[in-house]
Copies of this chain bind each other. A is one copy, B any other.
Amino acid sequence: MGLTLYSAWRATAPYRVRIGLQLKGLSYDYVPIDLIKGEQREPAYKAVNPQGLTPALDLGDGGVLTQSVAILEWLEETRPDPPILPEDPLDRQMVRTMALIIACDIHPLNNTRVGRALHKLGVSKEDNLAWVQRWIADGFDTLEPLVATYGKGFAFGETPSIADCCLIPQVYSANRYELDLAPWPAIRAVNAQALAHPAFQAAHPKQQPDAVLI
């Protein structure tokens, strides 16, 4: 039974799942979806994920999983080794809180469809960039003291967790949108350590077959 990931190289939600798959040592086929061309809204992809969002993880047995954070929880429950959640319920709650600050309070405000909707409302390119930067900054302001308190190399403790699966793609997005990361040293330190980890390296946008490098 082979796994197939429908992904887009720069999008943060599929990037989260790539990290999770790599951390669990799972191999998968990669199907690129071109978000600029709008392939996510075409019938071929909507047959896979009717919502028209990436990622989708095809299990090869008829099942297709969506929602990146739910996929990470499923990975943890079905392939528990190595763990990407700690054992203690309060620790798990903190890891999930970090992940959801990103997955609920930052990323949904900044994805492709929202940018298009703002453009249609007459919001300028400059205001759109400021919008993206504002929500990332707000979220990172909340995350920074949590990472500084609970991180010991990674966002929570000494090993990668679901929090890092979400944080490292969000830092990549912050760089893409030219946000100066100076105010968040704890986040920067975790990002530097993660980028040296083989699983995070294999999952990096620039390593994907659909990467456009200039």
Binding site for B on A (CB under 8 A): 50-51, 53, 63, 65-67, 69-71, 73-74, 77-78, 89-90, 92-93, 96-97, 99-101, 103-105, 107-109, 114, 117-118, 121-123, 127, 131, 134, 142, 145
Contacts and interface: CB of A to CB of B under 8 A. Distances in A.
A88 B123 CA distance: 45
Contact of A127 (B51, B69, B121, B134): B121
A142 B93 contact: no
Contact of A104 (B65, B69, B78, B97): B69
Nearest to A114: B109
Query: In terms of DSSP, what is the predominant structure of the interface of chain A?
Result: helix
A69 B101 CA distance: 11
A114 B109 CA distance: 9
Number of copies: 2
A158 to B, nearest CB: 21
A108 B113 CA distance: 14
Given A89-B77, A89-B78, A109-B109, A70 B50 contact: no
Given A69-B104, A108-B108, 8 more contacts: A53-B105, A67-B97, A74-B92, A77-B92, A103-B104, A108-B109, A109-B109, A117-B131
Nearest to A50: B142
A69 B99 CA distance: 11
The 4 closest A-B pairs by CB, nearest first: A70-B96, A108-B108, A74-B93, A67-B100
